[in-house]
Amino acid sequence: MQDGSPFMTDWSKVHEKTALSPGILPLAGLSYLYGLAVRIRTTLYASKRKRKLPGFVLSIGNLTAGGTGKTPAAAMVAEWALKKGYRTAILSRGYRSKHPGKIFPVSDENGLLCTPAEAGDEPYLLAKNLPGVPVILSKTRYDAGLLAHERHGSNFFILDDGFQHIGLDRDLDLVLLDAANPFGNLHLLPRGPLREPVDHLQRADAFILTRTGHGTNAIMMNYLKKKFGGKPAFQSEHVPSRVLLPNLNQSHGPDFIQGKRIVAFAGIARPEAFRETLRALGGEILHFTGFQDHHVFLESEFRKLIAEHHRLRADLLLTTEKDFVRLGPLSLAENLLAYLTIQFRIVSGAEGFFEMIRGKASESCLTP
């Protein structure tokens, strides 16, 4: 648990436990019922004809609840597709978004169309960082895709967090797995982090191991090869990109953190990963607060962080880009507030990865 954390339940710790205990028994029962529902749903959809969008559909998803970097991966693929000349759109469910209606456009070719609260932090970030790529929200991605095709001529559709959206046909199904902890304690929600049983990875076309660094993860790579018939597997990392101080209109490279005295906070799936990133960049962490993923900040919470920043005479009050978006107008209260941007990068077989996408798009009769 992070310093000053407001977590009521630290699910990351719960999802590490393998042994049954009195406190775990109710979760085990719920996991059994959840697993039964997942298997019934999967069986029902297997017998139905899937809906097909007018173009190439690429899904980026995962097997566990949060923390594998799906959104940065979607941004990486969308940026590549846009540069190659594909008419790209991102279709998202919009987790915790507050938009009205069945379909909600976050952006079009001309820019943003809504606030972070309306869109949700991740779709808003995608739209903000990918000018020229429409981002459209709908629980039914088929409807979002049709809107993108009709309004923008989109023919290269990226499903953000799409692995469980099995009612829509896709041409390429990519699944991200955390190299260090791919399946947690091997139990389904809520006892474990799994959204589906591990054997459902048979639906995937290729795997991306995340957070591998520049080394290799031979054990996991060999497991995937043997378990899933030699399907392609790639390695990736999350690379610190820029440090931005928006209230001072400053942008720096990640080496700017070296030697800085920092008060930091993060409301992401794994806040401790952000803290370790800052330490690896040479920052001196004076105080760190972890919040739940997608946490909506109260003014009182942010004022406490500012007060801690001033009390400790820190050089920076630092957070993630996703958290900065959720601060909204509160972010104007501190000039030394900064956020770190992250890029998703394939570090093993990048050329083959993008060639695989291009080849699958060509099989779908789609050319730039």
Give the CATH number of the domain where residue 286 resides. Answer: 3.40.50
CB atoms closer than 10 angstroms to residue 127: 26
**pLDDT higher for 323 or 14?**
323
pLDDT tens, 167-190? Answer: 999 999 999 999 988 999 999 999
Q: What is the CATH number of the domain that holds 159?
A: 3.40.50.300
Asked if residue 298 has pLDDT above 90, the reply is yes
Amino acid making up residue 138: S
- Please check whether residues 227 and 356 belong to one and the same domain: yes
Mean per-residue pLDDT over the chain, rounded: 93
Judge whether 221 lies within some domain.
yes
> Could you give the CA distance from residue 298 to residue 67 in angstroms, rounded to a whole number?
23
Q: Which of 62, 71, 99, 6 is nearest to 295 (CA)?
A: 6
Lowest-confidence range among 49-63, 90-104, 235-249, 298-312? 90-104
Q: What is the pLDDT of residue 97?
A: 83
Domain that holds residue 172: 56-236+346-363
Q: Which two tokens stand for residue 58?
A: 């690429």
DSSP tag of 7: -
- Please check whether residues 194 and 60 belong to one and the same domain: yes
Judge whether 309 lies within some domain.
yes
Judge whether 105 lies within some domain.
yes
Q: What is the pLDDT of residue 1?
A: 39
Give the CA distances from residue 104 to residues 94, 122, 252, in Å, rounded to whole numbers and listed in that order: 9, 14, 34
Scanning the chain, the segments in alpha helix (DSSP H) are 11-14, 25-46, 70-84, 116-119, 121-129, 141-152, 218-227, 271-280, 299-311, 321-327, 350-363
- Please check whether residues 107 and 62 belong to one and the same domain: yes
pLDDT tens, 146-171? Answer: 999 999 999 999 999 999 999 999 99
The answer to whether 188 and 197 have CB atoms below 8 angstroms apart is yes
Give the CA distances from residue 323 to residues 279, 319, 331, 338, 339, in Å, rounded to whole numbers and listed in that order: 19, 6, 10, 11, 8
Q: What is the pLDDT of residue 323?
A: 97
Q: Specify the pTM.
A: 0.94
Q: What band does 7 get if pLDDT is binned at 50, 70 and 90? A: very low
- Please check whether residues 162 and 265 belong to one and the same domain: no
Q: What is the pLDDT of residue 214?
A: 56
Judge whether 13 lies within some domain.
no
- Please check whether residues 245 and 159 belong to one and the same domain: no
- Please check whether residues 275 and 206 belong to one and the same domain: no
| Phi, psi for residue 213 in degrees, rounded to 5 | 70, -155
Judge whether 36 lies within some domain.
no
Largest CA distance in the chain: 62
Judge whether 83 lies within some domain.
yes
Q: Which of 175, 225, 222, 178 is nearest to 201 (CA)?
A: 175
- Please check whether residues 274 and 331 belong to one and the same domain: yes
**pLDDT higher for 208 or 9?**
208
Q: What is the pLDDT of residue 215?
A: 62
Q: What is the pLDDT of residue 9?
A: 65
- Please check whether residues 278 and 176 belong to one and the same domain: no
- Please check whether residues 306 and 350 belong to one and the same domain: no
- Please check whether residues 289 and 352 belong to one and the same domain: no
The answer to whether 105 and 118 have CB atoms below 8 angstroms apart is no
Q: What is the pLDDT of residue 3?
A: 46
- Please check whether residues 129 and 247 belong to one and the same domain: no
Crossing angle for the helix pair 70-84 and 121-129, nearest 10 degrees?
Answer: 30
Q: What band does 280 get if pLDDT is binned at 50, 70 and 90? A: very high
Judge whether 251 lies within some domain.
yes
The answer to whether 97 and 121 have CB atoms below 8 angstroms apart is no
Q: Which residue has the tokens 């378990």?
A: 227
Total domain count for the chain? Answer: 2
- Please check whether residues 250 and 273 belong to one and the same domain: yes
Judge whether 4 lies within some domain.
no
pLDDT tens, 345-368? Answer: 999 899 999 999 999 999 998 888
Q: What is the pLDDT of residue 157?
A: 98
Give the distance from CA 22 to its chain's centroid.
33
Q: What is the pLDDT of residue 34?
A: 97
The answer to whether 63 and 195 have CB atoms below 8 angstroms apart is yes
The answer to whether 90 and 193 have CB atoms below 8 angstroms apart is no
Asked if residue 6 has pLDDT above 80, the reply is no
Question: What share of the chain in percent tops pLDDT 90?
Answer: 82
